[in-house]
Amino acid sequence: MNNALSVALRMTLGLAATSAVLATSSAAFAADPIRIGVIAEAQAIAGASIPQAAQLAADEINASGGVDGRKIEIVSYDNHSSSADSVRAFQRAVNEDKVNAVIASYISEVVLALEPWASRLKTPFVTPGAASNEISKSVHADYAKNKYTFHGYLTSAALALSVCDAAKDLLVEKMHMKSAVIMSEDAAWTKPLDVGYEECLPKIGLKVLDHIRFSPDTTDFTPIFNKIEGSKPDVIITGISHVGVQPTVQWKNQQVPIPMFGISSQATNETFGKDTNQAAEGVLYQGVSGPGVAVTPKSVPFAENFKKKFGNYPSYAGYTAYDEVYYIADAVKRAGSTDADKLVDALEKTDWEGTIGRVQFYGKDDPFTHSIKYGKGLITGLMLQWQDGKQSAVWPKEVAKVDIKFPSFIKLSN
């Protein structure tokens, strides 16, 4: 029995080894592929879109001939939302799977853990969805060491600005709201976000009455909503990503009469409607793109192709991951090489119209070095609302399709 087993085992191992040898030798005949490692939270709503979108981009690039005849190959790893798993995946991607660049994670804690590894292993690394200011601040602080890291999504500071810009037009000018309570989860990305909110909300005319930070493990939000209602704000400004379904469903079930407006990462994914049994109705959230929203001519075709292939529209990190594969490919083409330092130089000169706007990176002397630029003509973000089971853009007015409307339990004070 044992003998038979070991023979079977050896045969399998042998077969695997032979096919590995065959695979490497056949690869050597064609031009070497450009390998991009994708490390993401395959089991989380926001993270699941990352490897799928990256693969979609690679397939499209390969179908049109690749980059100077070289194919793009995506090697993906599930990190189970864990920093330790991500670090191991990063090491494996670079040392064993020989990737030329890495796209990883929407969680700031994970990205901050990977950043030193990008420096040590000298591998260009872009995050499609983490927000903490610290990611690009570290690049600024020690450029020579940390220049391999790029922040392919808005920093928390920029996110707060985007929410405030939208709130000024929608809430203050249109609905005459005057006060707000900030409700955010306790995580690395919300610390700078909350600082940004505290600073910009009063400037646009929303007085901050209270500021509630809660543990991401919270399951019962009744006491939190209760406390918020007690201070009678016109709006709840959210900063949530690790939680999303539970506060949204409880907000509806308890008929909390105050609208929610801000960052709600899980709400960016189409499956959020089903996960909350449509309790998401009326939720306003910041996004970089959305189904049917033509931020650029590339946005809608990407979202539709993604849905055709995977059955649902991508989360926010899907849009950014898709763009990242394209601009990494573009950088390889311009650099004429996959050499890490040349690739970093080329990535810094990125000027790419993607699905979320025009992507350029802040330079060495800006405080947020290697973060994507925020502003008109570049990336401004959008405000979307769940309406009739769908995500619809309500801001800025160039792309807005509908007006804001709320479920009947929301009582607007003005």
Partner 1 sequence: MRVFQILIDGFAISALYALGATGFTLIFGVSGVLNLSHGAIMVAAAVAAWAAASVLNVGTYAGALIGVGVALLTAFATYFAVVKPIQASRRIPNEEKEIFVLTGTLLWGIMIQEVIAYFFTNNAKTVLPIVEGVVEILGVRTPKNEIFTAIVCCLVIALLWLLVNRTRTGKAVLAASMNPRGVTLLGLELTNIYIVVWAIYGILAGIAGVLLGMFLGVSSYSVGPLTASAFSIVVLGGLGSVSGSLIAAFVVGYLETLTAYLVSPAYRTIPALLLLVFVMYIRPQGLLGRR
Residues that bind partner 1 (CB under 8 A): 43-45, 48, 81, 186, 213-215, 217-224, 226, 243-246, 249-250, 253-255, 266, 271, 274-277, 279
Nearer to partner 1, 6 or 255 (CB): 255
- CB neighbour class for 219 (10 Å; exposed up to 12, middle 13-18, buried from 19): exposed
Q: In what order do the strands lie in the sheet with 72-78?
A: 72-78, 34-40, 101-104, 125-127, 149-151
Note the Cα 298 to chain centre separation in Å: 18
Tell me 51's DSSP state: H
For residue 132, the minimal CB distance to partner 1 (Å) is 20
Angle, alpha carbons 50-51-52 (nearest 5°)? 90
Strand 149-151 and strand 207-214: pairing?
unpaired
Q: Are 54 and 103 in contact (CB under 8 A)?
A: yes
Which residues are bridge partners to 390 per DSSP?
387
Report the nearest approach of partner 1 to the CB of residue 10 (Å): 29
Nearer to partner 1, 278 or 305 (CB): 278
Q: How far apart (Å, rounded) are the C-alpha atoms in residues 316 and 387?
A: 18
Considering the complex, state which of residue 267 and residue 400 has its C-beta at the smaller distance from partner 1: 267
- 36 φ/ψ angles, rounded to the nearest 5 degrees: -120, 120
The minimum distance between CB 68 and partner 1, in angstroms, equals: 38
CB 153 to partner 1: min, Å:
19
Amino acid at 191: K
User: Looking at beta carbons only, is 81 or 155 nearer to partner 1?
Assistant: 81
Instruction: Give the shortest CB-51-to-partner 1 separation in angstroms.
Output: 14
Nearest approach in angstroms of CB 238 to partner 1 is 16
Considering the complex, state which of residue 271 and residue 360 has its C-beta at the smaller distance from partner 1. 271
In this structure, what DSSP letter does residue 395 have?
E
81 vs 119, beta carbon nearer partner 1 = 81
Determine the Cα–Cα distance for residues 366 and 177; give it in Å rounded to an integer. 35
